[in-house]
Chains A and B, each alone.
Chain A
């Protein structure tokens, strides 16, 4: 089995975000000086009430959102206005969306092979072999020639994860990957994510799934009103939160 991840080395910093500030064009101050460091092989779960800026923060890591102040270094490349750097970072960082965002006009297999052939210029046959292996790993190799519209939500999200893995990323970002799913499909997606974490993939996950955070996360980040309120290992965060906002948030979701 091809493993897209390199052996985890906790000494290597994958994301280094320093005092990131972002204003939307309408003047809304979305991020107010956020700091975060993510090491290789780490699973960081970001939680927080809606409108707290957690998705916006996640999306700055691969330049889907820009920011005005501060600095972000991803895998040793500093995010700047240089288009070539942005392309380089996007090649190394995979992203899984709430709405799956599969390409509905392409078959499942073509969804996986599109980017590696275009961006990494790899041979089609080789990528297809890898794509089929990845689909087998997320449990849907029998659907490879179907179109996304013929799959269930959970299957689509697993295809989306496989699509990201096919680019052999060094870091995976998850933007509320289970929020658009019917309850009975949440588990199959979380299982795949848990499996990835066990293999040592570096992951940053925005989610409301407390159980996933407890079992898989190395650290939990709580954001509120554009700021990081608390960063703690899950057992401490869920049992003995330090900050009053954390306690308030936990009482709301439980």
Chain B
């Protein structure tokens, strides 16, 4: 009994895979071949030596000490540190905001419930970039300066920045306290408000997934609404919330690359300047992609650990 090879169900999968593999390989080889040819024609073959050359540009704000004489790799590192700084703070802020808004959707107060929905629907349907530009150009850049600055307890909102603590007005300039630049403040506000809406949806979905019997049981034991939420419902909702939160955190980290819109020197904006000066497009893009991938992996790793913790506690 003879089966032709093109009808053999053991050979067919191999055949399909071989074809697909060949097509993928040929495409990659073709693209890489072009890349090498075009790069060598432009004199830009892959090299990392330029990373040690002096950058020649300054970074407006940096946690690491930086000046124009330092090499490119220090500039990129400073950008990375700036990215990590904004991502970490925004993560905390967005989680707090999202949890508050998400649980507000179950409030006994009808107005609060509706406001929570309105906030989520408002934010989710407007592009983040537009929101960031709005916060920077419309809100923060139009802050008054000097004695007209908005003075709240523990913080002064002025055009020169956000002054925390108890700053003094010396010759029309606020001094003597922790200063946050407007760029950083705008980016942080935008990211927190945007991610907060998405996290609120995650929290709302998680709480809604807890069976209603749990609410009733807790209330019948005499716990009041706040206790029921924090002691009974939220711990159970975490099983649903944590995995979904993982992808929200990753998109927050990726969204921080829009910092360039408010003039904050994050990794992407430093990389863009670096590319414009050196023309090293392939290397710069590789650095960018690799760094963001690494950041995603770190977040996923931590969240997976948290997830395991939450799921085990359940038993």
User: What is A's interface to B at a CB cutoff of 8 Å?
Assistant: 78, 80-84, 86
How many chain B residues sit at the interface, stated as a range, is: under 10
Q: List 11 A-B contacts (CB under 8 A).
A: A78-B1, A80-B3, A81-B3, A81-B9, A82-B3, A82-B8, A82-B9, A83-B7, A83-B8, A83-B12, A84-B7
Are B9 and A83 within 8 A (Cβ)? yes
Per the bound structure, the CA–CA distance linking A82 and B1 in Å amounts to 10
Kindly identify, within residues 1 to 22 of chain B, every residue whose CB is under 8 Å from any CB belonging to chain A: 1, 3-4, 7-12
Per the bound structure, the CA–CA distance linking A146 and B3 in Å amounts to 44
Are A86 and B1 within 8 A (Cβ)? no
Per the bound structure, the CA–CA distance linking A83 and B10 in Å amounts to 9
What is the CB-to-nearest-CB distance from B181 to chain A, in angstroms, rounded to a whole number?
56
Per the bound structure, the CA–CA distance linking A78 and B1 in Å amounts to 9
User: What is B's interface to A at a CB cutoff of 8 Å?
Assistant: 1, 3-4, 7-12
Per the bound structure, the CA–CA distance linking A86 and B8 in Å amounts to 10
Per the bound structure, the CA–CA distance linking A86 and B3 in Å amounts to 12
Per the bound structure, the CA–CA distance linking A56 and B11 in Å amounts to 23
Chain A to chain B: the 8 pairs with minimum beta-carbon distance, closest first: A82-B3, A81-B8, A81-B9, A83-B7, A81-B10, A82-B7, A83-B9, A84-B7
**How many residue pairs, one in A and one in B, have C-beta atoms under 8 Å apart?**
19
What is the CB-to-nearest-CB distance from A73 to chain B, in angstroms, rounded to a whole number?
11
What is the CB-to-nearest-CB distance from A101 to chain B, in angstroms, rounded to a whole number?
22
What is the CB-to-nearest-CB distance from A62 to chain B, in angstroms, rounded to a whole number?
13
Closest to A87 in B: B7
Residues of A within 8 A of B3 (CB): 80-82
What is the CB-to-nearest-CB distance from B225 to chain A, in angstroms, rounded to a whole number?
38
Per the bound structure, the CA–CA distance linking A81 and B14 in Å amounts to 13
Residues of A within 8 A of B9 (CB): 81-83, 86
Per the bound structure, the CA–CA distance linking A209 and B8 in Å amounts to 39
Residues of B within 8 A of A82 (CB): 3-4, 7-9
Closest to B8 in A: A81
Per the bound structure, the CA–CA distance linking A78 and B4 in Å amounts to 15
Closest to A71 in B: B1
- Beyond A80-B3, A82-B9, A84-B7, 4 additional pairs, beta carbon < 8 A: A81-B11, A83-B7, A83-B9, A86-B9
Closest to B3 in A: A82
Per the bound structure, the CA–CA distance linking A78 and B11 in Å amounts to 18
Residues of A within 8 A of B11 (CB): 81
Per the bound structure, the CA–CA distance linking A86 and B10 in Å amounts to 12
Residues of A within 8 A of B7 (CB): 82-84
Closest to B10 in A: A81
Per the bound structure, the CA–CA distance linking A82 and B12 in Å amounts to 10
Per the bound structure, the CA–CA distance linking A83 and B1 in Å amounts to 14
Per the bound structure, the CA–CA distance linking A81 and B4 in Å amounts to 10
Per the bound structure, the CA–CA distance linking A80 and B4 in Å amounts to 11
Are A80 and B12 within 8 A (Cβ)? no
Per the bound structure, the CA–CA distance linking A81 and B2 in Å amounts to 10
What is the CB-to-nearest-CB distance from B2 to chain A, in angstroms, rounded to a whole number?
9
Per the bound structure, the CA–CA distance linking A12 and B10 in Å amounts to 31
What is the CB-to-nearest-CB distance from B265 to chain A, in angstroms, rounded to a whole number?
53
Closest to B4 in A: A82
What is the CB-to-nearest-CB distance from B7 to chain A, in angstroms, rounded to a whole number?
5
Per the bound structure, the CA–CA distance linking A116 and B286 in Å amounts to 54
Residues of B within 8 A of A78 (CB): 1
What is the CB-to-nearest-CB distance from B248 to chain A, in angstroms, rounded to a whole number?
32
Closest to B12 in A: A83
Residues of B within 8 A of A84 (CB): 7
Per the bound structure, the CA–CA distance linking A78 and B8 in Å amounts to 14
Residues of A within 8 A of B8 (CB): 81-83
Per the bound structure, the CA–CA distance linking A166 and B7 in Å amounts to 27
What is the CB-to-nearest-CB distance from B5 to chain A, in angstroms, rounded to a whole number?
10
